[in-house]
């Protein structure tokens, strides 16, 4: 009795991507895990009693992103929506929050660190996201049925 594995067979999305692209995606997921997991999970585990609603929600959301990014190291193509999410929120934050503060000369050192981190993501993620896969599977493909 043999069990057929659907790993990189011609009909899987990963089969259509080069190994270089897959490893670049894995590196992006690893960067998310290494860069964000230690401070987020430390804050989640050791937070004080005076943790605001928005701050606690943001830390838990980013903590969840790090867990999903760890999954992306194993399944880089299946976790592409996570890279799209990371690209989207960072671009929105840079445009809606950082740009007006920069224009007004109000960026402090802490805010500048976030600008650098978000800027890196906005530069890096478009380079590793398999845009043809995104187009074929999220734009051109028919949506799931409604009824």
Cβ-contact 114, 67 below 8 angstroms: no
DSSP one-letter string for 57-71: HHHHHHHHHHHHHHH
Closest CA to 91 of 129, 53, 124: 124
Residue with the two structure tokens 């996201």: 129
134-142 contact pairs (CB < 8 A, 24+): 134/80, 134/84, 137/13, 138/81
Residue with the two structure tokens 């009795």: 1
In this model, does residue 1 exceed pLDDT 60? no
Q: Tell me the pLDDT band of 13, cut-offs 50, 70 and 90.
A: low
In this model, does residue 8 exceed pLDDT 60? no
* 16 vs 37, residue with greater confidence: 37
* 96 vs 5, residue with greater confidence: 96
The percentage of residues in the chain with a pLDDT greater than 70, rounded to a whole number, is 91
Angle at which helices 109-128 and 19-46 cross, to 10° = 150
Q: Within its chain, how far is the Cα of 105 from the centroid?
A: 29
pTM: 0.86
Q: Tell me the pLDDT band of 15, cut-offs 50, 70 and 90.
A: confident
Residue 2 pLDDT: 46
Q: Tell me: the pLDDT tens digits for 51-75? A: 899 999 999 999 999 999 999 999 9
Q: Tell me: the pLDDT tens digits for 20-52? A: 999 999 999 999 999 999 999 999 999 988 889
């Amino acid at each position: 009795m043999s069990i057929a594995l659907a790993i990189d067979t011609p009909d899987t999305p990963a089969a259509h991507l080069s190994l270089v692209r897959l490893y670049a995606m894995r590196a992006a997921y690893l960067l998310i895990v290494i860069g964000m997991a230690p401070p987020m999970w430390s804050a989640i585990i050791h937070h004080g009693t005076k943790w605001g609603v928005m701050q606690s929600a943001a830390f838990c959301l980013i903590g969840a992103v790090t867990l999903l990014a760890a999954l992306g190291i194993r399944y880089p193509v299946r976790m592409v929506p996570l890279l799209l999410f990371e690209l989207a929120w960072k671009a929105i934050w840079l445009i809606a929050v950082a740009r007006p503060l920069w224009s007004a000369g109000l960026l402090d050192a802490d805010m500048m660190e976030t600008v650098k981190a978000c800027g890196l993501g906005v530069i890096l993620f478009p380079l590793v996201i398999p845009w043809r896969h995104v187009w074929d599977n999220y734009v051109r493909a028919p949506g799931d049925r409604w009824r």
